[in-house]
Amino acid sequence: MAEAKLLKDDELKFMYDKLLESCRKNLPSVNEDLLEKSFRLSFEAHRNDFRASGEAYFHHPYEVAHIVAEEIPLDDISVISALLHDVVEDTDIDLKFIESQFGKEVVEIVDGVTKIGGVFKDHEISQAENYRKLLLSMVRDVRVILVKFADRLHNMRTLEFVNPTKQRRIAKETLEIYAPFAHRFGLGRVKWELEDLAFKYLNKEAYNELARKIADKRKERESYIKKFSKPIIAQLEEHGIKFQIGGRPKHLYSIYRKMIQQNLSFEQIFDLLAIRVILEENDPNECYYVLGVINQLYTPIPDRFKDYISIPKKNGYQSIHNTVIGLDGKLVEVQIRTRKMHEIAERGVAAHWKYKENIASASKDLEDWVNWIRDIFENSTKDEATREILASFKLNLYQDEIYVFTPQGDLRRLPREATPVDFAFEIHSNVGYHCIGAKVNGKIVPLDTTLISGDQVEIITSKNQHPNKGWLQFVVTHKAKSNIRKYLNKEAEKIVDNGREIWEKKVKKHKLSFNSDELNRLVRKLKFDNHSQFFKAVAQGKLNVDEVLNPKVEDAEEQENRLEFDNFATLARTSAGGVIVEGEHKGIPYSFAKCCNPIPGDPIIGYITIGEGIKIHKKRCKTLINLGKENEERLVPVKWPESPGQKFVAGIAIKGEDRPGILNDISNTITSYQNTNIKSINLNTNDSLFDGTITLYVENLEHLTDIINRLKKNGAIYSVERFDFSA
């Protein structure tokens, strides 16, 4: 490292005055107290630090701030943040202190620049577009990106002092990440310089050769441009047009790229001769007028004309490009634009605060954000403080995505809120299946940890580890969810098969047999929705198969309830006249299924059994639904007989408080509604409570429901429902 050079007070004063002058000239307003405070803090924080060149380290944040103020001018917050952008990372000063001294906006920008500064460490760049998205996913304020551009630009300007390996790494990052990124933000001047500086360190031989050839022709080129421009200047002055004209600098990397892409020699690149006309009036129509003047002086080449004013480029660039045949038959490219267009071309989004401009979409990805910026400028008054507008310049791009690294440095894209388990399945389904732990940035973390952009994730696996149901509570990717469900379903199938095997062995042991109907009836009786649930309970030991196959005798109360319902059901079905079996199955004997015990008023359907005729089920019977899925052809249309004015017998089960007059209240409630007739009432009392059944004649289920609802309004009645008894 070169000899360290300490800064003197008079040098510091000169530097500050120069920065303040740039801020006053280029920014809409400057908080000079905060600017001076940040200048002093940055200097004191870096007082004992020096760069590889021997220069005081403070020169770096100072130059970055100067670039922001002079070349990418946005606001004073950006300049202050640039001065402080390395303080947190390189010194003992923390973000909390920065926020207490300079406010939330500054600390967010400093924090953002610090975070994205470490993204590429130890990573080989691949999938450059994903890296650019990674940067955008990490920040919400456009000023973070702009300060980072300035930081990178100054690093590139002083890259000669670092070792060759680091030079190439930084140059490659710059060429593949930052220069294209600057282009998308419309920062033409920054993009060109970044490209040329990167080119210089990535291919010194080609760079030096091109630089020499251009230098050799500089005087000749400048002389030609002067002669070419002379008649144009005369004509424009004669027409009273305010303008600036000069040779347009051609950047080394763009020349080199064109030579490679079009397989041309340096001598064949015809647009090295170029001028740019910048009009001061900011009237786009004047550009076309100037185009006409030039085309009268020199012959234009039609297929080389491009109108980026009527149809701007995606990054908002506007200009007329025209190529004409100049003196001695040489081709000269002419660019015509207004001052406003020129500043936007050079400074991109940083120039928009100066103009209420209907800019074009920056790209498909940037479209919504640029439209938002445009809306802010078009709907704000001229007197509105720019700082207040800029405070809402938050990037809403890629905030639903994160970009994380594998241990090998590969970049993977995941949705926001993704966890190590999502990452594991993104790598490979087998990695996900056996994921037992994870390291994020070298530290072991829980599997439900939320990842953030820039994390490096290492998955720890074990052949004994398998997905569990709890993972579904925190994974967010479709790939992870579907793979976990697939595994759990397979495991569930194994459990069901195991349960079925246990069941069949137990049935054989008890010397019993179950046909399909009998098994369905048992499953329904035990309150399972289907066979799978039943067999799963068997496999998991939740069901004692021996007790199921050798059941205890029903207790007396249950027998009494069943007998009471059977008597009621027989009465109700007989009163209704039985069941009518329709179609070709008419005449086949039928009986009523015990699994759902249908009674008149229930929608019913028949099911042809083997050896037991037709079983009549409720249409909503779960056992029937399961049977019907497999044997739909066995379903038979049946119905209760109907005749005008006919009523059917229905039953009500009722419970409540046994108080004087309750029986009379119940009777009056029923009989007073549409002259309903009661067939019988059977109530039992015990400790001031009663329960029992009521048999009555109703027209249909709606009639019965209305009566039940009327009874429920009585405060002494606790429950009332249709009398039913399903196995």
Look at residues 279, 277, 313 and name the one whose alpha carbon lies nearest to residue 295.
277
Look at residues 182, 172, 150, 128 and name the one whose alpha carbon lies nearest to residue 60.
150
In the annotation, is 555 catalytic? no
In the annotation, is 21 catalytic? no
Kindly state the DSSP code that residue 5 receives in the 8-state scheme.
B
CA distance 718 to 615: 35
Selected catalytic residue, list 36, 70, 90, 658: 90
CB 168 within 8 Å of CB 204: no
CB 116 within 8 Å of CB 131: no
CB 431 within 8 Å of CB 460: no
Q: Which token pair is 578?
A: 């039985």
Q: Which token pair is 258?
A: 């064109």
Q: Report the interhelical angle of 32-45 vs 9-26 (nearest 10°).
A: 140
Q: In this structure, which amino acid lies at residue 221?
A: R
Indicate the pairing of strand 443-445 with strand 580-581.
unpaired
Residues 6+ apart with CB under 8 A from 91: 45, 46
Look at residues 236, 322, 315, 308 and name the one whose alpha carbon lies nearest to residue 274.
322
Backbone angles phi, psi at 172, to 5 degrees: -65, -45
Residues 6+ apart with CB under 8 A from 100: none
Specify the DSSP element, H or E, that contains 372.
helix 367-378
Instruction: Write the Ramachandran bin of 385: left for phi over 0, alpha for psi from -120 to 50, otherwise beta.
Output: beta
CB 287 within 8 Å of CB 343: no
Selected catalytic residue, list 36, 49, 70, 89: 89
CA distance 554 to 678: 31
CB 479 within 8 Å of CB 418: no
Specify the DSSP element, H or E, that contains 606.
strand 604-608
Catalytic positions are 89-90
